[in-house]
Amino acid sequence: MATYEHLVKSYDVGDLLDDIASADPPAYLRRCFAEGYSASLLSWSRVQQLAVCAMVLDAIVNDRDYEFFEHELIADWRTHYASACGKLKDTAALALRRVLERDRPEDPDAAAELEELAGRLAAV
């Protein structure tokens, strides 16, 4: 089970999952990564949002479990959106690399978690 406690500390993961669920999940994730990549500056909250979206993508396409996700919801998304989400891995990895280059978290543990997550999504 993957944990990224420093990246999600003080972030309401449940609210973001609700937002994704109420939209078209692949479209929501695509938009999140595109906005994260193109923004000139990202707040810490925005970095966290981008990281959690990347975790959702990782959970769907790489079949990983995250303790703070609703497992039934992620299982449903795997069934319905795995193919569409699989096409987003490169975009997500680029967005996370951009964060690491320009808006790197001050917390070294959070930065290391973000690097690990980017690596998971960049892996073939």
Residue 107 belongs to domain spanning: 5-122
Q: What is the pLDDT of residue 109?
A: 93
Instruction: Tell me what the pLDDT averaged over the chain comes to.
Output: 92
| pLDDT range class, residue 5, cuts 50, 70, 90 | confident
List all residues 6 or more positions away from 18 whose beta carbon is below 8 Å from its beta carbon. none
* Number of domain units in the chain: 1
Name the token pair of 118.
């980017």
For residue 99, pLDDT beyond 70:
yes
- Residue 76 vs residue 7, higher pLDDT: 76
For residue 96, pLDDT beyond 60:
yes
Torsion of CA 67, 31, 87, 51, to 10 degrees: -30
SS3 66: strand
Q: What is the pLDDT of residue 1?
A: 52
pLDDT, tens digit (0-9, with 9 covering 90-100), for 48-95 = 999 999 999 999 999 998 988 999 999 999 999 999 999 999 999 999
- Residue 111 vs residue 68, higher pLDDT: 111
For residue 6, pLDDT beyond 60:
yes
- Distance, in Å, from the CA atom of 3 to the CA atom of 43, rounded to the nearest integer, reads 22
Q: How far is CA 58 from CA 73, 86, 102, 119, in A?
A: 14, 9, 23, 11
**In degrees, to the nearest 5, what angle opens at C-alpha 73 toward C-alphas 12 and 28?**
65
